[in-house]
Amino acid sequence: MAYIVFDDNCINIEQGHYIPHSCRSGICQTCLMQATDGEVPAAAQAGLKNTLVSQGYFLACCCKPETPLHVITAPDKNIRHAVNVISHDLLNAHVLRLRLERPDNFDYHPGQFLTVWKEDTVGRSYSLASVPGIDNYLELHIRRMPNGKVSNWLHDDIDVDDVLHVQAATGNCFYTPDAPEQKMILAGTGTGLSPIIGIVRDALQQQHRGEIHLVHGAMKTDDLYLHQTLQDLDQRHNQFFYHTNVLHADEDHPLYDAMSLDQKLLHIGEDLTDCRIFLCGDPNLVNSLKKTMFMAGASMKNIYADPFIAAYD
C-alpha cells in the first residue's frame, strides 16, 4: 500500500512509485488504480463501470485528491486477461490485423477499445473491429508508427500462439439500437477504420434500417484496406454505403476524389440535425471534423468521437 500525493499532472507519486499511464486525459484507463482508504474525487471515476467504481477504482491521471488517499495498483485479476494470438497478418503495408482469443466474460461493444500491455508497464489503446455474436475472437488493426514502442513490437515480435495481456474494453464510441431509422455517418482515417467497421457490422446485425454511410479517409490509395470487404458489404445491404476519400491520387484514378473529407461528410449528410456521427482516428482531424459537423447542424449528443491520442511516456 502507498500513501500518495499527486502533482498538477496527477502522475507523480511519492516514494518513487510509478503508475503506468498513456493518454493522460481520462480516456484510455491505462492508469487505473484502486483506493483502499480515503475519498476518491468523482472526476477520477467518470466513465468507469459501476462495478469498478463500487470497488474504489479510479483513474490516476484525473485524480486530484483533497485529502490523503491510500491506494494500490489495480489487481490484475480484475481487469487484465492473458489471451492467445490466433492470427497475425497484414491488411496493407503498414496495418497489422491481430485476432486474439476472446476470454470468458469479456464483454464489449464493437468500437470500444482495449489496452494491450507490453512488459506490464507500457499500455496502448486499440479499438475493436470484431462483433460479439458474429466473431468469436477480438480483432484489432494496428498501424506501425515510426519508432513506436508497442506498434512495432506487435508487428515484429509477436506471432500466432504468443500470449498477450489485455485490459478490459472501455469507451463510448459504439452503436445503440435506440433509433433504428436514424441516418448514420461514420468517418475514420487510417486505422480509424477499425472501430467504425465494427460499429457498422454491429448496426447491421442489430437491423439498423436508416442509411449508414462509412467514409474511409487515406493519404494514398495503398493506405486503404478491407476495400473489397467493404464493397461486398455495400452490395449486400441496401442501407449501407461505402465511400473512400483519398487525398493524393491521380485525377484519372477511379478513387480520385476532389472533395476534402469534411466537404465529403457535409455532402453525404445534407441535413445533419438528426444524424448520428462517429469520427475516429487522427486526433487533429477528428477534433476539427467534430467542430465542422456541429457548426453544420449536428447535435453534440449525436457525435461520437474517438481521437487516437498519442501516449505520454
Binding site for ligand FAD (CB under 6 A): 23, 27-28, 113, 124-127, 141-143, 145, 147-151, 191, 194, 306, 308-311
Q: How far is the CB of 185 from ligand FAD (least distance, A)?
A: 19
The residue among 131 and 266 lying less far from ligand FAD, judged by its C-beta, is 131
Cα–Cα distance for residue pair 271/146, rounded to 1 Å: 40
Residue closer to ligand FAD by CB (options 71, 169) is 169
In whole angstroms, give the CA distance from residue 222 to residue 238: 27
Q: Residue with C-alpha cell 453544420?
A: 296
CA–CA dist 24, 311 (Å, integer)? 8
Angstrom distance (rounded) from CA 241 to CA 185: 10
**In the complex, what is the shortest distance from the CB of residue 161 to ligand FAD, in angstroms, rounded to a whole number?**
22
Q: Which residue is nearest to ligand FAD (CB)?
A: 148
| Bridging pattern class, strands 212-218 and 32-37 | unpaired
The CB-of-140 to ligand FAD minimum distance in angstroms stands at: 6
**In the beta sheet, which residues pair with residue 277?**
185, 303
**In the complex, what is the shortest distance from the CB of residue 73 to ligand FAD, in angstroms, rounded to a whole number?**
21
Nearest to 311 by CA among 22, 21, 10, 11: 22
Which of 148/210 has CB closer to ligand FAD?
148
Which residues 6+ apart lie within 8 Å of 270 measured at CB? none
Strand order across the 32-37 sheet: 2-4, 69-73, 32-37, 57-59
Beta carbon nearer to ligand FAD, 71 or 92:
92
Phi, psi of 125 (to 5 degrees): -85, 140
Least CB distance to ligand FAD at residue 192 (A): 7
Q: Which is nearer to ligand FAD, 240 or 304 (CB)?
A: 304
User: 35 vs 280, which CB is nearer to ligand FAD?
Assistant: 280
Minimum separation from the CB atom of position 173 to ligand FAD (A): 8
- Helices vs strands, H then E, count in the chain: 7, 15
